Amino acid sequence: MPIWDFPGARNWGYDGVLPYAPDAAYGTPEELKGLIDRAHELGLMMFLDVVYNHFGPDGNYIGAYAPPAFREDLHTPWGGAIDFRLPEVRSFFTENVLYWLIEYRFDGLRFDAVHAICEQDWIDEMAAAVRSSHELRDRRIHLVLENENNQQSHLAGDVDAQWNDDFHHVFHVLLTGEREGYYDDFATDTAGKLARCLKDGFVYQGELMAHIGHPRGTPSGHLPPKAFVSFLQNHDQVGNRAFGDRLTTLAPPGGVEAATAAFLLCPQIPMIFMGEEVASETPFLFFTDFQDELADAVREGRRKEFSKFAAFAGEEIPDPNAKSTFEASIPQPHPTLAGERAALFKRLLAIRAAEISSREATADAEAEAIGPKAVRATWRFEDGARLTLAVNLADSPLDVAPIEGPLLYESAPGVADAARAGRLEGFAVVALMEKA
């Protein structure tokens, strides 16, 4: 998550005000460089979340000494929009991108909410600058967007991948049955929407989304799976719930395990939320360390935001500024499921490393709903291999067309044999890999 310097001792990072300064509460610049060097020694890449769509509300003095940097005619949910029409502003943030990649040697950046950047061409201009940088020419740099609008245009150029919120939403509805807010747009033909997600990436590719009242997205079926970052949980989807509920507390363990196998074995890029690998039930709450009037405004604004939801009526939302809110968000392993869930993740990641991520998947995929909560999908790889994945997120068995092929993974002994006989057990996952 972002590390721009911000007031106070704790923060999600999205209230940063000094883009070139790692936050002092975390340590010194030299210690950050040491952390990255040590990760590289261990064979790990390091990515940084960066925010170029707004500044935090406390300590942002750029508006005082450089007021033209902000637009007066356009606002974001977090304040005045940064004016990316100005070449000085564009250069300031492009140089910031290069700063983190060159000075600190981060391996990639995740760009927060780029849909809120008023001049979208800056994204492509910045990405081109990264690719043409002399200092970066011998390194593999990853550029990943968060783009709520499901636009795929940037992925045709120098941007590598984009977060796929649709992936989260459709799995969440299948596992929990929730349909308030944007989940309602995924509550009809949910298995069909999951099939489209596995096949094409985005579920919404220009169709009307009732929650926002207008069409959302652009066609994405021509893109390879590696253009999409998939997840079952993340800081937004957990932390922006009133009480920071993790999926572990909202869905049955068997369903979560089946969904975990599905998302770790499909060729899209999987992202794991901290604590997910040990079935943590610890909430991840929204926390800050603001003072005085701003602290009051954030606390009351948070509580007002959720007052319209029937599920939270009469319950007081935790104070974001209380230290106890931060402390309650530290992940703890599940008291009984942690070891079993960690073993599942290790097994799935080992299979993925050996058989899936080591191959280049093409955009030539097929997928179909085979039950109310069941899907079968097939992907092809450039070396001629073919991966088939069948998943049933219902707790009851399902009659299906026989699923055959060399076994890569089965969620329990006998599940593959049953699938070959035309029966997909409840909470079952079968993965088959045919090699050329």
Catalytic residue list: 112, 146
Helices 165-176 and 190-200: crossing angle in degrees, nearest 10, is 150
- How far, in Å, CA of 305 to CA of 301, rounded? 6
- How far, in Å, CA of 116 to CA of 110, rounded? 15
CB 27 within 8 A of CB 34: no
The identity of residue 106, as a single letter, is: F
Locate the DSSP E strands across 84-213: 108-112, 142-145, 161-163, 207-209
CB 374 within 8 A of CB 398: yes
- The region, left, alpha or beta by phi > 0 then psi within -120 to 50, assigned to residue 176 is alpha
CB atoms within 10 A of CB 391: 30
- How far, in Å, CA of 189 to CA of 198, rounded? 14
Residue 77: closest CA among 24, 140, 133, 148: 148
Helices 253-265 and 338-351: crossing angle in degrees, nearest 10, is 20
- How far, in Å, CA of 96 to CA of 99, rounded? 5
Residue 7: closest CA among 29, 25, 32: 25
**Measured in Å, how far apart are the chain's first and last C-alpha atoms?**
41
Radius of gyration of the chain (CA): 22
Q: Give the count of alpha carbons within 13 A of 184, CB side only.
A: 8
Q: Where are the alpha helices (DSSP H) in 329-407?
A: 338-351
Torsion angle of alpha carbons 16, 18, 24, 25, nearest 10°?
Answer: -10
The identity of residue 10, as a single letter, is: R
Buried-exposed string 163-185: b where 16+ CB fall within 10 A, e elsewhere: bbbbbbbbbbbbbbebeeebbeb
